[in-house]
Amino acid sequence: MQLACVEILRGGFSTVLDHLRLSPDLDRDGLEVVARAYEAAGMRVVVAPILADRPVAATMPLAAADLAGADIAAYVFSPGI
């Protein structure tokens, strides 16, 4: 996350709207880490978690054969987030 902040600042931007998607890899504690990284970099940011009532994979116009072998674990419903 710190590297991302450096790249954003080097690009001349000081304000960010970050749409983070809650997933098994990014929970509430992860959101706190992201917010603290922006704060430490001195950036202005709106962190807006993406919430959905359906898994991302369910919204894709693909057949099961299209997803064969694909790792879509992060795109399935994760209760309790």
Calculate mean pLDDT across residues 59-75. 74
Q: Is 62 a domain residue?
A: yes
pTM: 0.59
Dmax over Cα atoms in the chain, in whole Å? 46
Q: Is 80 a domain residue?
A: no
The per-residue pLDDT for range 15-65, each reduced to its tens digit, is 999 988 776 667 778 888 888 999 999 999 998 887 777 777 777 787 778
Q: Is 67 a domain residue?
A: yes
pLDDT at 78: 54
Question: From CA 71, how far away is CA 74, in angstroms rounded?
Answer: 8
DSSP string for residues in 14-60: -EEEE-PBPBTTB-HHHHHHHHHHHHHTT-EEEE--B--SS-GGGGS
Question: What are 37's two structure tokens?
Answer: 């990284």
**How many domains does the chain fold into?**
1
26, 20 contact by CB (below 8 A):
yes
Report which of residues 70 and 78 the model is more confident about: 70
Enclosing domain of residue 50: 2-75
